[in-house]
Amino acid sequence: MQFTAEHAEWGRVDITLDDLGCGRSWEEIHRVRGVELVCPECGGQVHARVSKLGTRHLYHRSRPPSCSLANESLEHHLLKLELVTCARAAGFRAELEVAAPTGEWRADVMVFNADGTRLMALEAQLSPITVEEIAARTGLYERDGVGVCWFGLRPRPWVGSVPTLLVQAPEEQGQAWTVAAGLARFCDWPVSWSPAGATLGEAVAWMLTGRIVPHTPVASSRRVTNEGEWGEWADGWTRFWNDSWRLWWTAPAYAARDAECAREQAEARRRREAEEKAAALQRAVREKEKARKKAAKDRAYQQFWTRTGLDRQAWKYFRAMAELYFDLDLIFGAPDARYGDGRPVYERGGPDGEDWTLVGVACPDPCRLRAWAEDLALLVPSHADLDVLAGRAWAPFQVYVLDPYTGEMDHERVLPAPVSP
C-alpha cells in the first residue's frame, strides 16, 4: 500500500490530493485500462484501488521484496496519511514520499514553506531501528536544512533521542489521533516538566508554525513526570533501564525559562561554591590560629613545668591545697605573660558560677614581677620560692606557700629589704 506514483506524462501522482497533484482525477486512474503508473522507488508497475476501509491507495501487482514502499505496514500507511492530512489542515503544502535529490533520504511527509523550500519532514517510524541509525538519518535532514519529527506508536529504544512524538490512533471512527508522549510544559517552582496533551493535528500545526520546538532540558529537572509521580512518560521504553528521554517538544517560552532557570541554578551553585570556599578558607585560618595558640600554650606550659620544677601530679596537689586553704572555688588559668608567666587564679562566684574574680597568681617568674604583684596573692610551692620573692619585693607582697610534697601551708607578708643609709 502506498500513495504516490510516477506517470510518464503527468509526472508525480499523489492520490491523497483531489487533483492527484498533477491536474488529474481519481477516476482517471482507478480501474482504467492503459494507465501506466510506476513506483517512485523500485520502478515497478502499481495500480489504484480502494481498501475495505474505504482508503484510496496504490499497490504492486507483484510485491518486490526490496521496495520499502511496497512493504510498509497498514499502520505505517495510515499514520503517514494522518500526518499529511494534519499538515495540509494547518495550511501548508505537504507531499508524501518525497526523496532528496541525492537519494540519501526519503521523507514519509515533506512539508514546504510558502516559497517552496523544504520546511520539515514528518517521519512515521514503526519498524525497528537503532538509536545510532535514527541519529544518522536525523543528521542528514539537519545537514540539508530540513527539520524533522519522528512519530511512533509504541515504545522503542530510540524514543526521545531525536525529536519524537508518540501518538495513539483513535479507538472509534470520527475520533482524533492524540499525542501520548513527547510534548511537555515547564514549571519553574518547583523546577519540573510535566506532560502536555494535544491532538496530533494540534501538535503538527504547532511544530510547523514554531509554537513548539524540540528542546533538550538544561536545568536541574530533566525528566517529564506526572504531578506527584516518579515515573516518566515512557519509563523503560529506551535502550537501557536508566535511560531517559533526552529531548522533547515544548513552547519556546518554556525552553527559554528552562535556560533561565539553568543560569540561575548555575549562579546559585557558583555562589554556594564561593561561600563554601570562603568558609573553608576561614576554617583553615581558624584552625591555623588554633594550632598556633595551642603550640604557644604547649610551649608556655612546658616552660612553666621546667621553671617551677613541678609535674602534673604535684600541680594537682598544689591546686587542691589552695582551694582547701582559701576555702574558695578557684579556677587556675594557663601560664600568662601578663602575670610573669604565672598562672592567674580566679575566684568563681555569681548565681551560676560565671563571675570570675582575679585573686592571685600561682608560681610567677620572680624576674617578671610587675605592679599587679602588690595587689594579688602570690602562690608558690616552697619556702625557697618565698625567699626569692622576698629578695625582689619593692612593696609588701602577700605570699602563700603550698608545698605539694610536704603538705605544708604557710602565709607570709613579705616586706621590701631596708635601704642602707
User: Which among 37, 101, 106 has a CA at the least distance from the CA of 68?
Assistant: 106
Share of the chain above pLDDT 90, in %: 65
Q: pLDDT tens digits, residue range 187-246?
A: 888 888 888 989 999 999 999 999 999 999 999 888 888 765 555 554 444 444 445 688
User: Which among 356, 352, 327, 328 has a CA at the least distance from the CA of 344?
Assistant: 356
Q: pLDDT tens digits, residue range 42-65?
A: 888 888 888 877 778 888 877 777
What is the Cα–Cα distance from 383 to 386, expressed in whole angstroms? 5
All residues at 6 or more sequence positions from 84 whose CB lies less than 8 Å from its CB, including other chains: 3, 16, 94, 95, 96, 109, 122
Asked if 198 and 183 touch (Cβ cutoff 8 Å), the reply is yes
Amino acid 230: pLDDT: 53
Looking at the predicted structure, is the pLDDT value of residue 377 above 80? yes
| Segment (H or E) for 312 | helix 312-326
Amino acid 5: pLDDT: 87
Is the previous residue joined to 421 through a cis bond, with omega within 30 degrees of 0?
A: no
Question: For 60, which DSSP code?
Answer: E
